[in-house]
Chain A
């Protein structure tokens, strides 16, 4: 058996395998639900209801999708140029850190410029965090998978140190958490009374912006060329290393916006459980979206829906929320296989 590339894939070829992957994911989840002693249809029904069955549920899903769109975009941008950024988690916390530092009174402006300034500084922080691995890669060929991944743990411990030390809220009853943001530094809700903040709108804008960059600008063209064939790009005169550095700046900045939007839009302060692995889940989001920035929105909504729905389902009938993690892992593995099958066919030798 071996794989043979398909020259001109048909529409069915490109759409059917991913569709089958989704159906198979649901099927496997159903089996697990039965193992847990529940009726699989009830479980799936409750997940869907919990994710989108009410206005509250839907808004919760949109809120949960917001950081995933940012980290998904961060990963999609980097992977497109074959810069393997596994460090969105650290970049997210860097953005959150800057938001808290600037937003708890260091910049006491009651001005509409405050939020954009904080957002830009947060992006810069995320970009700086990714700069070290990117420079090590282009200068010395150090594998960025290792450096970005390990840096996540270092950075989280650094945040922990700050929350136990200089950033610790003196009124926090001893909990490792920062002070709350001043009111001017909070992202307002999009519509009064609805629990959805402007971070979600910003995420949608970011997705469109990334798409425009990739499709319409010379930088996007360069990033795609470097990702597809570094040697040919170099031969043609594309400054490969400079493109990788720019990609790192963009990718780190996008991940940092997830931290900014979570702190400024939702939580209001910084704690060590700000992100339940949004940085890592961003990889799944990007892969399911086939690295397409617009598809990242749908992919993030899908994954956020599963998480929110599974939480609600678990409260209702007691099937563990781990089911959500298993569904995501299954979806990712099957989708990787499905993507392979859209481009190659299996032939018997």
Chain B
């Protein structure tokens, strides 16, 4: 920014330090934000981005350092003060009441307790005005529970603007959006800065950072390691700054699709609360192929993963492995049939936090030789096998007796990879396999998936990250509301075209076509 010298500084963080026990989440971090500017806070998971913003917003108290908004210092640990000073935060996880309307959600907490009745007309006018100014189209009288994720995010932004926020903080706002919704969001942000607001954009997606921000600040291990004008950097140099080393993604060579291994035919499963089940879904996984499943989270991915993983059964339709019906199997049978399952949540379902590495490594195989015989555990063998996984998959840990809770996410995931891939599975079900991992671990997981493919395994890669899907998949499907799009060959679709399907369009035409 050439004019950053002249523009008013609206927000200043001075040497913020915050420790959690032995972990230093923020180490003397300073930054300043000018009027009409978008800065991006870039860093890997665990770099301290969210902690820093929580301190700014008063949800945490810093050990030392100060926060100044419009030249005035904020009292620490007081979210109210941050709100009153004009800071609005849009969290990664929305904080809306599903059973209330958009209007009610927006004015919630802004009306005096003592004034009887809500002045809805005035509020509605203000919301409509804001919506027009910032291109945030949303019906004020719609129930929030009925809105899409993108619309809910707009409500969150409206909420902040309604409270006269002059500084918007968005924490990983694009994680749940389709590419089109992301474009809409960026449009809104551009409107906002044009109207004199300032934006802090937190992300680890490089191309988005390049697209929206004026300046980028890079956090690594709690320290501010670099500050760059966006015109002076490219994606590659940003990645290197973020990780602190040169990184190279694994090379993807085109594969040759083999014979069908696992087929779903017109499978339907019941809805699980808010999460839709599968709606007459057909899908075939082929040997030597990575099948990518794109889609906004909560559109039936969990139902599909549970079905293939043996946790649920189809209510209708069939699931066939090698042309034999396997619709009524259990997780154990799924494993025996050669399915490697990398679960979505490695902390809650993938591992048992207070078990050590050995106990976690044998979770799927403990009941059979050589891990046990006639009900007696063979811990020596289990430990040898675990040590083998630790060596082969480069799990950084003090030893197989370490409680897995103490490992980083990447090392935890490597142990899970070792657990499921050591048996040379024919099918790999990878559900969000790199969520929350740093780039080094991401590349590692991807190269393991690719080598499984090379070995002839059928890989189903479920991810919300379209870049990941497009980089690895031989064939791409989109899931929306439990329905599946046709399969698209590699490189036959642009992100925008896939985004249309992710938003739920095209399925009707497809069905009409089919019938």
State the A residues within 8 Å of B (CB): 4, 6-8, 216-221, 224-225, 228-229, 231-239, 345, 347, 349
Report yes or no: B377 in contact with A216, Cβ–Cβ below 8 A: yes
Kindly identify, within residues 329 to 370 of chain B, every residue whose CB is under 8 Å from any CB belonging to chain A: 330-332, 334-335, 341, 343, 348-355, 359, 363-364, 366-367
Report chain B residues within 8 Å CB of A4: 20-21
CB distance from A345 to the nearest CB of B (A): 8
Report yes or no: A236 in contact with B364, Cβ–Cβ below 8 A: yes
Report chain B residues within 8 Å CB of A231: 348-349
Q: What is the bound-complex CA distance between A347 and B334, given in angstroms?
A: 45
Given A225-B359, A235-B331, A237-B332, 8 additional A-B pairs, CB 8 A: A7-B21, A217-B375, A218-B376, A219-B375, A228-B353, A229-B352, A345-B21, A347-B21
Report yes or no: A229 in contact with B376, Cβ–Cβ below 8 A: no
Report chain A residues within 8 Å CB of B335: 237
CB distance from A216 to the nearest CB of B (A): 6
Report chain A residues within 8 Å CB of B332: 237, 239
Closest partner residue, chain A, to B364 (CB atom): A236
Report yes or no: A217 in contact with B355, Cβ–Cβ below 8 A: no
Q: How many residues of B contact A (CB 8 A)?
A: 35
Check A221/B359 contact, CB under 8 A, given A228-B354, A234-B311, A235-B343.
yes
CB distance from B69 to the nearest CB of A (A): 22
Show 9 A/B contacts (Cβ-Cβ < 8 Å), sorted by A: A7-B406, A217-B377, A218-B376, A218-B377, A221-B359, A228-B354, A233-B352, A235-B341, A235-B343
Flag B299-343 by CB within 8 Å of A: 1 or 0 each: 000000000011100000000000000000011101100000101
Q: What is the bound-complex CA distance between A349 and B54, given in angstroms?
A: 14
Report yes or no: A349 in contact with B376, Cβ–Cβ below 8 A: no
Report yes or no: A225 in contact with B376, Cβ–Cβ below 8 A: no
Q: What is the bound-complex CA distance between A231 and B331, given in angstroms?
A: 12
Report chain B residues within 8 Å CB of A228: 352-355
Report yes or no: A218 in contact with B366, Cβ–Cβ below 8 A: yes
Check A8/B406 contact, CB under 8 A, given A216-B376, A217-B377, A218-B377.
yes
Closest partner residue, chain A, to B371 (CB atom): A218
Report chain A residues within 8 Å CB of B77: 349
- Does chain A have a CB within 8 A of B121? no
Kindly identify, within residues 400 to 457 of chain B, every residue whose CB is under 8 Å from any CB belonging to chain A: 405-406
Q: What is the bound-complex CA distance between A6 and B354, given in angstroms?
A: 13
Q: What is the bound-complex CA distance between A231 and B349, given in angstroms?
A: 6
- Does chain A have a CB within 8 A of B372? yes
Report yes or no: A232 in contact with B21, Cβ–Cβ below 8 A: no
Report yes or no: B366 in contact with A232, Cβ–Cβ below 8 A: no
Contact among A8, A218, A220, A347 with B367 in the assembled complex (CB-CB below 8 Å): A218
- Does chain A have a CB within 8 A of B22? yes
Q: What is the bound-complex CA distance between A176 and B22, given in angstroms?
A: 64
Q: What is the bound-complex CA distance between A229 and B360, given in angstroms?
A: 11
Report chain A residues within 8 Å CB of B354: 228
Q: What is the bound-complex CA distance between A6 and B23, given in angstroms?
A: 12
Q: What is the bound-complex CA distance between A221 and B379, given in angstroms?
A: 11
- Does chain A have a CB within 8 A of B61? yes
Report chain A residues within 8 Å CB of B343: 235
Report yes or no: B349 in contact with A235, Cβ–Cβ below 8 A: yes
Closest partner residue, chain A, to B333 (CB atom): A237
Prevailing SS type, chain B contact patch:
loop
Q: What is the bound-complex CA distance between A232 and B367, given in angstroms?
A: 16
Q: What is the bound-complex CA distance between A238 and B335, given in angstroms?
A: 12
Report yes or no: A238 in contact with B363, Cβ–Cβ below 8 A: yes
CB distance from A117 to the nearest CB of B (A): 24
4 closest A-B pairs by CB: A237-B332, A237-B331, A236-B363, A229-B352
Q: What is the bound-complex CA distance between A236 and B334, given in angstroms?
A: 10
Report yes or no: B375 in contact with A232, Cβ–Cβ below 8 A: no
Name the residue among A6, A231, A347 with the largest chain B CB count within 10 angstroms: A231
Q: What is the bound-complex CA distance between A349 and B405, given in angstroms?
A: 24
Q: What is the bound-complex CA distance between A221 and B350, given in angstroms?
A: 17
Closest partner residue, chain B, to A8 (CB atom): B406
Closest partner residue, chain A, to B367 (CB atom): A218
Flag B272-313 by CB within 8 Å of A: 1 or 0 each: 000000000000000000000000000000000000011100
CB distance from B347 to the nearest CB of A (A): 9
CB distance from A339 to the nearest CB of B (A): 14
Report chain A residues within 8 Å CB of B348: 229, 231-232
Q: What is the bound-complex CA distance between A238 and B375, given in angstroms?
A: 14
Report chain B residues within 8 Å CB of A349: 61, 77
Q: What is the bound-complex CA distance between A77 and B22, given in angstroms?
A: 35
Flag B372-395 by CB within 8 Å of A: 1 or 0 each: 100111010000000000000000
Report yes or no: B61 in contact with A225, Cβ–Cβ below 8 A: no
Q: What is the bound-complex CA distance between A216 and B311, given in angstroms?
A: 28
Report yes or no: A225 in contact with B311, Cβ–Cβ below 8 A: no
Contact among A217, A219, A225, A347 with B363 in the assembled complex (CB-CB below 8 Å): A225
Check A232/B349 contact, CB under 8 A, given A4-B21, A218-B366.
yes
Report chain A residues within 8 Å CB of B331: 234-237
Kindly identify, within residues 26 to 76 of chain B, every residue whose CB is under 8 Å from any CB belonging to chain A: 61
Report chain A residues within 8 Å CB of B363: 225, 232-233, 236-238
Report yes or no: A218 in contact with B352, Cβ–Cβ below 8 A: no
Check A218/B349 contact, CB under 8 A, given A225-B355, A235-B309.
no
Q: What is the bound-complex CA distance between A229 and B353, given in angstroms?
A: 8
Q: What is the bound-complex CA distance between A239 and B366, given in angstroms?
A: 12
Q: What is the bound-complex CA distance between A220 and B343, given in angstroms?
A: 25
Report chain B residues within 8 Å CB of A8: 406
CB distance from A302 to the nearest CB of B (A): 26
CB distance from B62 to the nearest CB of A (A): 11
Report chain A residues within 8 Å CB of B366: 218, 221
CB distance from A79 to the nearest CB of B (A): 15
Report chain B residues within 8 Å CB of A225: 352, 355, 359, 363
Closest partner residue, chain A, to B335 (CB atom): A237
Report yes or no: A221 in contact with B377, Cβ–Cβ below 8 A: yes
Q: What is the bound-complex CA distance between A221 and B311, given in angstroms?
A: 21
Closest partner residue, chain B, to A216 (CB atom): B377
Report chain B residues within 8 Å CB of A7: 21-22, 405-406
Report chain A residues within 8 Å CB of B334: 237
Q: What is the bound-complex CA distance between A216 and B380, given in angstroms?
A: 11
Report chain B residues within 8 Å CB of A219: 375
Contact among B61, B330, B351, B379 with A232 in the assembled complex (CB-CB below 8 Å): B351
Report yes or no: A217 in contact with B359, Cβ–Cβ below 8 A: no
Closest partner residue, chain B, to A348 (CB atom): B61
Report chain B residues within 8 Å CB of A224: 355, 359
Report chain B residues within 8 Å CB of A216: 376-377, 379
Name the residue among A4, A229, A237, A239 with the largest chain B CB count within 10 angstroms: A237
CB distance from B68 to the nearest CB of A (A): 22
Report chain B residues within 8 Å CB of A236: 331, 363-364
Q: What is the bound-complex CA distance between A345 and B353, given in angstroms?
A: 19
Name the residue among A217, A220, A345 with the largest chain B CB count within 10 angstroms: A217
Q: What is the bound-complex CA distance between A250 and B64, given in angstroms?
A: 55
Report yes or no: B355 in contact with A218, Cβ–Cβ below 8 A: no
Report chain B residues within 8 Å CB of A220: 377
Report yes or no: A232 in contact with B352, Cβ–Cβ below 8 A: yes
Report chain A residues within 8 Å CB of B61: 349
Report chain A residues within 8 Å CB of B311: 234-235
Report chain B residues within 8 Å CB of A235: 309, 311, 331, 341, 343, 349-350
CB distance from B509 to the nearest CB of A (A): 37
Q: What is the bound-complex CA distance between A232 and B419, given in angstroms?
A: 14
Closest partner residue, chain B, to A345 (CB atom): B21
Report chain A residues within 8 Å CB of B375: 217-219
Q: What is the bound-complex CA distance between A6 and B406, given in angstroms?
A: 10
Q: What is the bound-complex CA distance between A232 and B360, given in angstroms?
A: 10
CB distance from B412 to the nearest CB of A (A): 12
Closest partner residue, chain A, to B379 (CB atom): A216
CB distance from A315 to the nearest CB of B (A): 47
Q: What is the bound-complex CA distance between A217 and B373, given in angstroms?
A: 9
